[in-house]
Amino acid sequence: MHEILDLQRYPLDQEGSAEWQALVDSARAELQANGMFNLRQLLRPHAAQQAALALQSVMDSQSHVHKRLHNIYFKPEIPELAPDHPALRKVETVSHTLCADQIDDSIVLRIYQYQPLIRFIAATMDKPELHVMEDPLARANVMSYRESEALNWHFDRAEFTTTLLLQAPEAGGEFQYRSDLRSDDNPNYDGVAKLLQGEDSQVHSLSLEAGTLNVFRGKHTAHRVTPVQGQRDRMIAVFSYYEKPGVLFSAEERLGFYGRTA
């Protein structure tokens, strides 16, 4: 794994050491301040390039095209809102997805299942342990965004999301987010409407380089990826970890996300 990950800079494999604890503490502080932390170039540059190159032909020929109009909640309706409420404004997402069963023996799956990484993320989130997902399609995905394609505004369902950027685009493809736009007690529909109308001055933009691991709390923070510009795809791996083992998607969820159930 030392040839793939920069474990000298990020000593994930030295659990309990002073260096490991310092990294955990730094990540926790970033989570507290920004709702996320980044391990920039955790994946070594040559390994990121190799991973993207190995997946490109499969992505071009076998990926599922996910194209949909949706609101920020990914729900058909919000009972307390009128259908024409500006917080339910429709936006479009277009991406290309490879499922876990299409990336067997890849660098991506090796990293996803790397136990020191999983234990490190659990420590940063103050959780006793985390587990890989059991779902044969959903546990680890690779998503690609081509020219003019984007992941539009949304809230995550999960408490946190872990991604690893394999390839950055020539331009565009910026990660934009608006921290703490809502809470468990306050859905802040007026604030959501203001964001969707482009009137929120607290939106932040982040450009990430290939090889960056990002752990992000997106349940209450609205976020999107801006349209990609240029001929190089934005390619990113998405890792799903849970506090309990054996988590599976329903057949309906698989069909909605991947166009197939098995």
Give pTM, 2 decimals. 0.94
Residue 158, pLDDT above cutoff 90: no
Is the residue at 8 inside a domain?
no
Rounded mean pLDDT, 146-166 = 95
Closest-CA residue to 146 (of 250, 233, 254, 45): 233
C-alpha to C-alpha distance for 135 and 132, rounded to whole angstroms:
9
Task: Starting at the earlier edge strand, list the strands of the sheet with 91-98.
Answer: 36-39, 213-216, 161-167, 234-239, 140-145, 91-98, 64-70
Domain of 56: which CATH number?
Answer: 2.60.120.620
Tell me, yes or no, whether 115 lies in a domain.
Answer: yes
Confidence of residue 208 (pLDDT cuts 50, 70, 90): very high
Does 250 reside within a domain? yes
164 confidence band (pLDDT: 50, 70, 90): very high
Mean pLDDT rounded to a whole number for the chain: 96
The DSSP output letter for 243 is S
Domain count, the chain: 1
pLDDT, average across residues 123-137: 96
107 lies in which domain range?
18-258
As a whole number, mean pLDDT of residues 169-191 equals: 96
Q: Which residue type occupies 47? A: A
Q: Residue 50 and residue 69: Cα distance in Å, rounded? A: 33
Instruction: Count the neighbouring beta carbons within 10 Å of the beta carbon of residue 45.
Output: 12
Question: How far apart are the C-alpha atoms of 1 and 164, rounded to whole Å?
Answer: 16
Residue 226 domain-assigned (yes or no):
yes
Give the confidence band of 25 by pLDDT, cuts at 50, 70, 90.
Answer: very high
Q: What percentage of the chain exceeds 90 in pLDDT?
A: 94
Reported as a single tens digit per residue, the pLDDT across 72-104 is: 999 999 999 999 999 999 999 999 999 999 999
Cα 55 to Cα 70: distance, rounded to the nearest angstrom = 28
pLDDT of amino acid 27: 98
